[in-house]
Homo-oligomer: A and B are copies of this chain.
Amino acid sequence: MMRDKTILLSHGSGGSLMHGLIKGLLIKKLGNPILEELADSASINYKDRLAFSTDSFVVSPLFFPGGDIGKLAVCGTVNDLVMSGSFPEYLSLSFIVEEGLQLKILKKVVDSIASEAKKARVKIVTGDFKVVERGAADRLFINTSGIGRILKGVRLSYKNIRPQDKVIITGNIGEHGLAVLTKRKELDLGFKINSDCASLNNMLIPLLKSVGGIKFMRDPTRGGLATTLNEIVMSTGLGLNIFEENIPVTEKVRSACELLGIDPLYIANEGKAVIVVEKGSARRVLSLLKKHPLGKRSAQIGTFTSAPRKRVILKTIIGT
């Protein structure tokens, strides 16, 4: 099957071409005993509280500095599960492929999925593969859904947030969105910005297990850090003071943003978490985060307040 060089409509028709592709590519690279059953559903043993999450990935271009749609599809759902205080275990994987896509592109994406799933220690246990006519999709879309085991004793919810609680961001912001944008627009900045795209479970699960007082986590993806912080204050009804000078932004991201006239606070991240933690645990959380390669640039950036309600106040360096 692998001799065919592009994806045909019949690769998605349920016939032998599709089965060749599934067995020759997907099972070979992603295989595990549950997936290999090729049943309509995966069968899983469970006796805990679960988190269940879904995300569709539509990034263009498919490949960008620091990642690709495959890596993103694993990280994105893994991180959503982690944000709910769960240990990510199983992913589903569903492709929508445009007829005519080169098979080598699909292979590269599947390699990337396999490699990131291994890194994040999640199993891909069920999947689906659809082909649509040329022009009916932009090359390749991926949906991953995921199941995680909620950690015992952990209940993350914005409802737990109180005045004086601290906000931590786990590193530099703005990198993913800029990496994709500069690649898409073929902008030459004179330097390269890599997406921060990463699975955060290996850093955050041990943290959740070892430190109390973590109340809420969310990954600032679409809409960036500003949108995430706004969502949190709207949900809690509290106020939030953010100290702009504490928000970690690299020089590269800062200059790219100036050049492009955009605000790094509104740019998507794919390997960062906003963590809300009670005052007394903030220092411990920060110090543990900084020991992990993905958290070296973690910073405390703000404090919840009882007033003004539902407002994020950005305290800038000149004090406004």
Task: Please give the residue numbers on chain A whose beta carbons come within 8 Å of chain B beta carbons, in ascending order.
Answer: 12-15, 19, 37-56, 58, 60, 79-81, 83-84, 86, 90, 92-96, 125-128, 130, 132-133, 135-138, 141, 143, 145-148, 150, 157, 218-219, 221-224, 227, 231, 235, 268
Counting from the closest, the 9 A-B pairs by CB-CB distance are A14-B223, A14-B222, A145-B145, A54-B92, A41-B53, A41-B51, A136-B138, A40-B80, A143-B143
Contact B13 A223 (CB under 8 A): yes
**CB neighbours of A42 from chain B (8 A):** 51-53
- A253 to B297 Cα, complex, angstroms: 65
Contact A83 B41 (CB under 8 A): yes
Looking across the interface, which residue of chain B has its beta carbon closest to that of A49? Answer: B45
Contact B132 A52 (CB under 8 A): no
Contact B53 A92 (CB under 8 A): yes
Chain B nearest CB, measured from A91 CB (Å): 9
Copies in the complex: 2
Name A137's contact: one of B93, B136, B224 (CB within 8 Å): B136
Contact A52 B84 (CB under 8 A): no
Contacts A137-B138, A138-B137 given: A52-B58 contact, CB under 8 Å? Answer: no
**CB neighbours of A43 from chain B (8 A):** 49-52, 84, 150
Q: Identify which of A38, A56, A147 gathers the most chain B CB atoms within 10 Å of its CB.
A: A56
Contacts A54-B94, A126-B52 given: A41-B132 contact, CB under 8 Å? Answer: no
**CB neighbours of A235 from chain B (8 A):** 38
Contact B14 A54 (CB under 8 A): no
Name A145's contact: one of B38, B86, B92, B138 (CB within 8 Å): B92
**CB neighbours of A15 from chain B (8 A):** 223, 227
**CB neighbours of A130 from chain B (8 A):** 56, 58
**CB neighbours of A135 from chain B (8 A):** 135, 138
- A290 to B138 Cα, complex, angstroms: 45
- A235 to B38 Cα, complex, angstroms: 10
Name A44's contact: one of B45, B50, B126 (CB within 8 Å): B50
Chain A to chain B contacts (Cβ below 8 Å), 26 pairs: A13-B222, A13-B223, A14-B227, A15-B223, A37-B157, A38-B235, A40-B79, A41-B86, A41-B146, A41-B148, A43-B51, A43-B52, A45-B50, A47-B48, A53-B92, A54-B126, A54-B128, A56-B95, A56-B130, A56-B143, A58-B136, A60-B136, A133-B138, A135-B138, A136-B137, A145-B145
Contact B221 A94 (CB under 8 A): no
Chain B nearest CB, measured from A247 CB (Å): 18
